[in-house]
Structure 1
């Protein structure tokens, strides 16, 4: 019986004696019962100790099982920045770790060897089997994978050692990391450019093949864009016809040509306007002609030339010499035409030519 068991037995015996004493006093036991109680409290613990000792002698003790196993001697070796191949050529991982090992055969007949070299080789082979399948852009993720794979003691290929690694660190050469960052930036920029290009191409296809396929499609599109404002769409029919024709590289349909808005000079009924093509925009000379007509100075009135010359001089003060010359040329030709009743040779109304001098 162990010391703890003996202590427990004595404690329970004393506790039982106290309880029986209290009970006897409360019940007023006879005098003869007290000696019997004392004898019982002495006999019961003695019998328990004797029975425990007899049972202990019957159980054989194997001393070999009580011996503590001899501690396994583990040694370590530090490696730093050892290059391991990655999935990409010329992009190597750099591994640093603490390699630990213990010998499997420690007898006197064990071969003489360099356990540190074998242990480092075994750990690097295990690490290489993983890194050569991984891309270099995920060095931090591969580091954690290696930490788990190398954390177990496993036999090496020779069978002499069991090896593992701790404090595993995996990085890339700084120049390689910089190159990878640049490649990643280029790929992202290319993805954005491709997206923009496809977006612009889609818009062109939508406008050219759907919206501006013909004037009718353009009118329907313009109605939708202007919240079904019919009046505005009708006013813009000519512009829509021109736009659709230009998009398809064709002429404006004959039925829609009258709807095309023309320059103000084309709508003037004055004789000098009839030969001006409708594509030509009104010039300063055109505006002055309209103003003189509105002021009541008809063709042949000498005041037209005088006012035109004064206006030309005002225009010249604004450093617009070509415009001033065009105004003088227009009204000098009109004066000649009025006097001779013939246009100058090689000139029609509105054309430029040498400016006659008096």
Structure 2
């Protein structure tokens, strides 16, 4: 039984004795009851002490056992805007947090005069080990990762204390964030441009190496485009032959020369043919073939579609290293625009890069 319990038991015994004495005097108890009451007041406390000692055991309670453990004293400090390295050079994170620590009592160690500095160093070393392997564009994600990694106490390298961090904030410099945004925009635009360039290259390759490879391939392609209308495809054989010859910089095959003659006779005015002298025959070039194709499909002089289609076909011919023919097509159907000196602008020279041609692709 502890000292507090013993004191309480004695106090209650005295209080009961006083109450019984007052009751006995007021009720005029007989004389033999007083010795009996005194014996009971002595025996009952002794019995209580005996029972308590038996339940406690024979082991004495020392004073040290009654002492409670001393509370652990924790302190904290704030670190703000500390530069931590990222995976990219010259792009540092800015780290801010509240550092908390408690000292470790170890015999034989010199007293620690600046625990805040040692605790801050321990937390920053733990944070640096994580941020140096993370990209700067993931600042918000890395902040949550640090909140979890630094949320528990860990000993420092000297063993004097254990430290942790809370209220962590991880940001970038405003200038670095703007640079990252511009870089992301450029990467997205480049991906779209490369996709468009590959798409146009694939279409030109498809037209040059598959559709317009020869007259037969062009006929099959034309037939599929016209919903298997055979009569229309037959009527357009001369046009297909001209387009194929212009794309491949070659003459129309002899077996198809009669189709071209029939088309020329059908389009010519008989009265004008009788009055005009017969022109001297000359070798037809790719320009002549393409001009005949434009006239046949209704792309007359001044129609912007003539220049658009000519650019597409010129790009196909350049891929076959026939630059002179490609330039002749551009000079004939898409000549460079000239400006007067009063305009204050330089002439617009057409580029030789087939990827920079404008207008709808030839399908």
RMSD of aligned alpha carbons? 3.0
Q: Rate the CA distance shift 1:109–1:88 in 2: closer, same or farther, 3 A.
A: closer
Partner in structure 2 of residue 275 of structure 1: 279
1:212 Cα offset (Å): 0.8
Unpaired runs of 5+ in structure 1? 4-48, 283-358
Distance 1:251 1:266 in 2: 26
Partner in structure 1 of residue 312 of structure 2: none
What's the CA shift string for 1:130-181, capped at 9, x where partnerless? 1111110111111111111111100111111101100000000000000000
What's the CA shift string for 1:27-78, capped at 9, x where partnerless? xxxxxxxxxxxxxxxxxxxxxx999757514374756556432211111111
Counterparts of residues 102-141 of structure 1 (less than 5 Å): 102-105=102-105, 110-141=110-141
CA contact (8 A) 1:87 1:131 kept: yes
Q: Highest relative contact order (Cα 8 Å, sep 6+), 1 or 2?
A: 2
CA contact (8 A) 2:106 2:160 kept: no
Greater Cα offset, 252-261 or 179-188: 252-261
Counterparts of residues 311-322 of structure 1 (less than 5 Å): none
Secondary structure at the residue paired with 2:264? Answer: coil
Q: Rate the CA distance shift 1:185–1:219 in 2: closer, same or farther, 3 A.
A: same
Q: Does 1:184 align with 2:188?
A: no
Partner in structure 1 of residue 57 of structure 2: 58
Counterparts of residues 20-31 of structure 1 (less than 5 Å): none
CA contact (8 A) 1:86 1:93 kept: yes
Distance 2:61 2:128 in 1: 48
1:108 Cα offset (Å): 10
| TM-score, normalising length: structure 2 | 0.59
Greater Cα offset, 99-108 or 235-244: 99-108
1:273 Cα offset (Å): 5.1
CA contact (8 A) 2:112 2:160 kept: no
Q: Rate the CA distance shift 1:55–1:232 in 2: closer, same or farther, 3 A.
A: farther
Counterparts of residues 1-358 of structure 1 (less than 5 Å): 53=52, 56-58=55-57, 60=59, 64=64, 67-105=67-105, 110-260=110-260, 261-262=263-264, 264-265=267-268, 268-272=272-276, 274-275=278-279
Partner in structure 1 of residue 341 of structure 2: none
Runs of 4+ in 1 over 6 A off after TM superposition: 49-52, 106-109
Q: Rate the CA distance shift 1:238–1:62 in 2: closer, same or farther, 3 A.
A: farther
Partner in structure 1 of residue 37 of structure 2: none
CA contact (8 A) 1:266 1:276 kept: no
Distance 1:225 1:61 in 2: 108
CA contact (8 A) 1:101 1:164 kept: yes
Please tell me whether Structure 1 or Structure 2 has the larger radius of gyration of its CA atoms: 1
1:110 Cα offset (Å): 4.1
Distance 1:112 1:54 in 2: 47
1:255 Cα offset (Å): 1.5
1:194 Cα offset (Å): 0.6
The alignment of Structure 1 onto Structure 2 pairs a total of residues equal to: 236
Secondary structure at the residue paired with 1:274? Answer: coil
Distance 1:61 1:252 in 2: 123
